[in-house]
Structure 1
Amino acid sequence: MGVCDAIERNATSGKPAAMSAPHLPKVAGIDPTVPAPAHNPAPMPAAPAALPAAGAVLQDRLAGWVSDLTTLHELTERLIRTGTLDDALDELLGAGAALVGARRGLVVLEPAQGTARDSPVDDDPGPGLAKGLGLSRSDLGHIETVPRAATAYGRILDGGHGDDGGPSGVPVPVAHPDLFADDSLDPLHREVATRLGYAASYTVPLATEESGMLGAAVWLYDEPATPVERQCHLVGLYMRYATEHLARLRELEQARSTVATVAEELLPSRLPRVPGVRLAARHHTGTHGGGDWYDALPLPEGALGLAAGSVSGSGPSALAAMGRLRASLRAYAVMEGEDPVAVLSDLELLMRITEPARTATALFAYAEPADRKVVLAGAGHAPPLVTGERRTEFVETSLSAPLGMLACWEAPSVELCLQPGETVLLYTDGLLRRTGEPMDHAFARLHAAAASVPRALRGEPVALADHVLHTMLPEGPDAAGGEDIVLLAARFD
């Protein structure tokens, strides 16, 4: 039976009025047959329109706060995943632009302590532009022509802004809702704004009490505009967190730069020139600052010593141990370099005495370029690779534990007879690990990289080494981070 049928059956037409009158339910002890009142009751006054409840307003505000906090959490999570200063600045510019509703922006970083900013001969350190969002290098160059004191970020960084007395002593943001309506705007600044097509700006300091003044971020609007109070609050919270993260990254990159500089100073400043052989070396310090090294030194009677190795550990202690190990190997090579096994045995004995808590891998080769003969021995090190027109193959060295792991190290040497134009490649495990693949796959990739060197590049060890590195690490030797990279190429004529 449908709804319409039920309505039709219960229609009041043709039925007594008494039957359509409401009937009270039967309740025990009460007679429900109470006559209905004879008069109609007065109509009830209309209820006034309901006002929004205070709870609903509070609920809407809470929902907005939760949404803002969720957005802020997601943006800071993305920022904390950045591992370099450059990536962090890109993330900061994009997140800040989304928070304040701008399309373009730039970050100005103050020089770190001990740089040119502190030099007494540099009166005008310049704006120090570091990164731009939606701005080309030429656009940043135009902005750089504006005197620093005429910009909002310049007044913030130099402490000349009148409102820099915030509660915590940190400069407050500076908003320019309409640059062209500002009579105090520098004429050159007005010209640059017209050329680049922005009409308003919002500048936020990158500063906290703990980190000090790092720099400032500027977002540019195409039309006169200014962020609302909610946007200002969110970007202020984000920038305080970003400042702490940027400070940590800058300290880390300064430490990495120092480690890389020390590592380069401990390695050969230039490769020797020995008749009959041409050399090329590539070294890239990893993010952890390991102790990978190489060496090439001329020996008596026109011979040449080639070496590569890696010290366990990372940081300054590993670098110091690497320097001691390399210097010791050079001394042993001069005394008895024609016997690589004796050189590594002496090095093993020295390590057990002076570096009892450390291990190292090493490979030493004694080369006679005139005869294109190479005698080599290795201690836990990756095998060299010989590449030329007719072959590309790994040298079968005897298996041995690293230095420092045996009571007395000794393994037989291997002798190579090279063809004219063949190149011997010495490298460290870091080159293999940087690929992120299992070691057997990494060895196969290295073999393929050496075999695929174009014929025109095989005569130049520098070009050959660069080709192998680019093939092994297409994104560049500094992209993957982590391990040190050492590659030493010796081409025998």
Structure 2
Amino acid sequence: MLDIPSRVRVHVETLLPAQNDMGVCDAFEQYAPVGKPDAMNAPHPSKVAGIDSTVPSPAHTVAPAPAGPDSPHVPPPHPPGALLQDRLAGWVSDLTTLHELTERLARTDTLDGALREALRAGAALVGARRGLVVLEPADGQGPDSTTGLGLARSDLGHIETVPRSSLSYGRILDGLPGCDGAVAQPDLFAEDGLHPRHREVAARLGYAASYALPLSTEALGRLGAAVWLYDEPAEPSERQEHLIGLYTRYAAEHLARLLDVERSRACLATISEELLPSRLPRIAGVQLAARRRTGPRGGGDWYDALPLPDAALGLAVGSVTGSGPSAVAAMGRLRASLRAYAVMEGEDPVAVLSDLELLLRLTEPARSATALFAYCEPTLRRMTLAGAGHCPPLLIGERRTEFVETTVSAPLGMLSCWEAPSVEVATEPGETVLLYTDGLLHRTGDSADRAFARLHAAAAAAPRAVREDPDAVAEHVLRTVLPDGLADQDSEEDVVLLAARFE
């Protein structure tokens, strides 16, 4: 990140040779005595305040006015050092702009947000209106994506129909000779070798020039490439190229960090999904559906549905305390253990949860969990369930929408010995039993009473057509209880819904 002090003090003298190797961001203050005005007017000025003097002066730099005895109306020449001061003002302005842009980029915490911010900042630096960035890490581990600025999805689709070898960013990504740096196409329609498809797409989208840069780091190598599109033939000036080069080097490092985070999240999400049922079983007399939302660090909420002997069905939901990889691993162990106990003694939910509590207390004494297990007999439309510190199920039917009254009990692992009586529930044809975790309530931000009331109201307001499909019921409840995108936003609270509709 660029750190620019509020005051920049520059004293000009003949600098040491070592100072000539300083970069733009290496020094903003030079402490040296004032003097030697001849050095200020040297034909080849040295670097000043860490800024390469070979970089062209800003556009607003004032050139020295000609002077002579025959020019009485010509203003007097600038005092010594005025030109240098003007150049310094331009450099400070550029560095301040870079500082602001990198600060905005540093505040992005998602890969997609960082890509969009880098595109916007780059467009401002090179003077373009549109652009796109293609993320395609060289190690092949992904994620691969294309993000546009001022381009619709259909526009991106048209660009992707152009052969990569004709696109500036495509040549960078493919590592073609001479494309390891910036690739400028200042006048596309004037190029003799331009591919006909590229010419057609450029005319259709209305751009006439492009400027592309690679995004790469020393640690990860090539991450992708960014390209900005001009409406008319144009190319960035040397100073613009210098500034965008500085910005993209910082942007690439920031994108690399977010790429690592994104890969870790994706890996954790994959492991978490693999620990849950890949598909729900098909049992005569009952239809099943499930929804799950996981936080960015991964969590311990889970669900399960497994066939049992005598055409029975076991349904379970639960939540392990904590988040992250350890909670995901504990969730997997707990779910696997519950499946084993359910097969052996599923007709007695209290026994299943008692065995699970004993296992948890002996193997993981520092962890607690909530769980609910239901033994279902679809042909009789009957359920026997027991809960350990878990939210009561919601019964949704044509003539009633009510919570099932379960016994209040402590979570697993909280007491020296857990046991609570089971509850038997008889359902009518077409009624749905909704099991869920408390993350659904916590994400609302309301108190417990208000959250339960919101859940009940959402289920009661479900249209008749929705009630006939458990998948539609789960989706309706999720979107109604968590409106305005709350269901899809990152949150520390996991959400699980398991709906069973009896025929």
- Structure 1 length-normalised TM: 0.80
Equivalent residue letter for 2:156 = L
3-state SS of paired residue (2:139): coil
Superposition pairs for residues 29-44 of structure 1, below 5 Å?
none
3-state SS of paired residue (1:268): coil
Give the equivalent residue in structure 2 for 1:483.
493
Superposition pairs for residues 320-359 of structure 1, below 5 Å?
320-359=329-368
Displacement after TM superposition at 1:116 (Å): 9.1
| Aligned match for 2:159, one of 132, 143, 146 | 143
Matched residue pairs, number? 431
Give the equivalent residue in structure 1 for 2:105.
79
Displacement after TM superposition at 1:476 (Å): 6.4
Give the equivalent residue in structure 1 for 2:232.
223
Aligned: 1:159 with 2:175: yes
Moved more, 100-109 or 181-190: 181-190
CA contact (8 A) 1:379 1:401 kept: yes
Write out per-residue CA displacement over residues 455-486 of structure 1, whole angstroms, 9 at most, x where no aligned residue: 11101101111111222333263333433321
Equivalent residue letter for 1:406 = L
Superposition pairs for residues 390-469 of structure 1, below 5 Å?
390-469=399-478
Give the equivalent residue in structure 1 for 2:373.
364
Instruction: Output the CA distance in 1 between the equivalents of 2:73 and 2:156.
Output: 65
Aligned: 1:259 with 2:268: yes
Give the equivalent residue in structure 1 for 2:128.
102
Cα pair distance change 1:276/1:141, threshold 3 Å = closer
Superposition pairs for residues 50-129 of structure 1, below 5 Å?
50-54=76-80, 57-111=83-137, 113-114=139-140
Equivalent residue letter for 2:229 = L
3-state SS of paired residue (2:383): strand
Structure 2 residues not aligned, in runs of 5+: 1-71
Instruction: Output the CA distance in 2 between the equivalents of 1:448 and 1:214.
Output: 48
Instruction: Output the CA distance in 1 between the equivalents of 2:161 and 2:449.
Output: 55
Give the equivalent residue in structure 2 for 1:188.
197
Superposition pairs for residues 236-385 of structure 1, below 5 Å?
236-385=245-394
Instruction: Output the CA distance in 2 between the equivalents of 1:360 and 1:50.
Output: 84
Give the equivalent residue in structure 1 for 2:206.
197
Cα pair distance change 1:388/1:159, threshold 3 Å = same
Equivalent residue letter for 2:147 = K
Instruction: Output the CA distance in 1 between the equivalents of 2:467 and 2:96.
Output: 57
Equivalent residue letter for 2:495 = I
Instruction: Output the CA distance in 1 between the equivalents of 2:378 and 2:169.
Output: 62
3-state SS of paired residue (2:259): helix
Displacement after TM superposition at 1:197 (Å): 1.8
3-state SS of paired residue (1:324): helix
Displacement after TM superposition at 1:344 (Å): 1.0
Instruction: Output the CA distance in 2 between the equivalents of 1:439 and 1:245.
Output: 40
Instruction: Output the CA distance in 1 between the equivalents of 2:80 and 2:451.
Output: 66
Instruction: Output the CA distance in 1 between the equivalents of 2:214 and 2:124.
Output: 17
CA contact (8 A) 1:106 1:129 kept: no
Instruction: Output the CA distance in 2 between the equivalents of 1:482 and 1:113.
Output: 31
Displacement after TM superposition at 1:438 (Å): 4.2
* Aligned-residue identity in percent: 73
3-state SS of paired residue (1:389): coil
Instruction: Output the CA distance in 2 between the equivalents of 1:411 and 1:55.
Output: 88
Moved more, 405-414 or 94-103: 405-414
Give the equivalent residue in structure 2 for 1:16.
none
Displacement after TM superposition at 1:217 (Å): 0.4
Instruction: Output the CA distance in 2 between the equivalents of 1:405 and 1:250.
Output: 39
CA contact (8 A) 1:288 1:483 kept: no
3-state SS of paired residue (1:412): coil
Displacement after TM superposition at 1:201 (Å): 0.9
CA contact (8 A) 2:314 2:376 kept: yes
Give the equivalent residue in structure 2 for 1:32.
none
3-state SS of paired residue (1:249): helix
Write out per-residue CA displacement over residues 329-359 of structure 1, whole angstroms, 9 at most, x where no aligned residue: 1111122222222211111110111122222
3-state SS of paired residue (2:405): coil
Displacement after TM superposition at 1:189 (Å): 2.6
Equivalent residue letter for 1:133 = L
Instruction: Output the CA distance in 1 between the equivalents of 2:352 and 2:389.
Output: 15
Displacement after TM superposition at 1:172 (Å): 2.2
Instruction: Output the CA distance in 1 between the equivalents of 2:450 and 2:206.
Output: 53
Instruction: Output the CA distance in 2 between the equivalents of 1:193 and 1:106.
Output: 14
Displacement after TM superposition at 1:426 (Å): 0.8
CA contact (8 A) 2:138 2:221 kept: no
CA contact (8 A) 1:287 1:483 kept: no
Instruction: Output the CA distance in 1 between the equivalents of 2:326 and 2:279.
Output: 24
Equivalent residue letter for 2:167 = T
Equivalent residue letter for 2:403 = F
Give the equivalent residue in structure 1 for 2:149.
133
**Superposition CA RMSD, Å:** 2.6
Displacement after TM superposition at 1:290 (Å): 1.0
- Structure 2 length-normalised TM: 0.79
Cα pair distance change 1:356/1:194, threshold 3 Å = same
